[in-house]
Structure 1
């Protein structure tokens, strides 16, 4: 039997062991600070951030990393900073064994909102 999917982001975060939960919550707060107009929801079983009705970014916590999803190729200067975190098309993985680059995540979230607004 599988666990029920979380109904909201609070439930999602609460489902992690403490050492992962703290980082997942910090990523969440970073995204909310970067995009205060974002609406949080759960989609595809993970936290989703939407602006003006458009899904901009998803993230998920894992045992060894936190991943951000649906991240297109960004402007060259930002993309250069993201290069070490790219694992698959549209996916960034941030290892839990290294310092979390909250500043980079915040700048990325702001840039994504700007890019999405032009589509």
Structure 2
């Protein structure tokens, strides 16, 4: 995808269709359900959600979605078992398109991040 100057998450998501778009919309709904007063923005040209600081980002690639944030050591320890089988880095979790979207896991991740931010 060519670099652009997205102004909103809707603008970012217009570049996608089908299952990839549906998966991003599901993640967005989960975030809003867990954090009703979350602020939507674009940061690093990808969807970003803020709640008492940066909460979580997501973006789409041809073979996976990534949910990201500079996760804490406590986060990694808490979700270590849940994230087995996913490709992860210090700040990203890749969710392959050929696997079901782990909606409950994403919900728990957002809840955890919300608590972390609220405690700051």
Smaller-chain TM-score bracket: 0.7 to 0.9
CA distance, structure 2, for counterparts of residue 94 and residue 110 of structure 1: 18
**Structure 1: which 5+ runs fail to align?**
none
Matching residue of 2:55: 56
Over aligned residues, Cα RMSD in angstroms? 1.8
TM-aligned CA deviation for residue 118 of structure 1: 2.0
CA distance, structure 2, for counterparts of residue 75 and residue 16 of structure 1: 30
Matching residue of 1:6: 6
**Structure 2: which 5+ runs fail to align?**
none
TM-aligned CA deviation for residue 77 of structure 1: 4.4
1:117 aligns with 2:108: no
Matching residue of 1:47: 47
The 5 A counterparts of 1:56-95 are 56-70=55-69, 71-73=71-73, 74=75, 76-95=77-96
Matching residue of 2:30: 30
Per-residue CA deviation, residues 60-90 of structure 1 (Å, 9 max, x unaligned), is: 1111111011133317443321233242112
Compute the TM-score of the two structures, normalised by the length of structure 2. Answer: 0.86
Give the count of matched residue pairs: 117
Q: Is the 8 A contact 2:4 2:45 kept in 1?
A: no
CA distance, structure 2, for counterparts of residue 75 and residue 117 of structure 1: 18
Compared CA separation, residues 57 and 3, structure 1 to 2 (3 A): closer
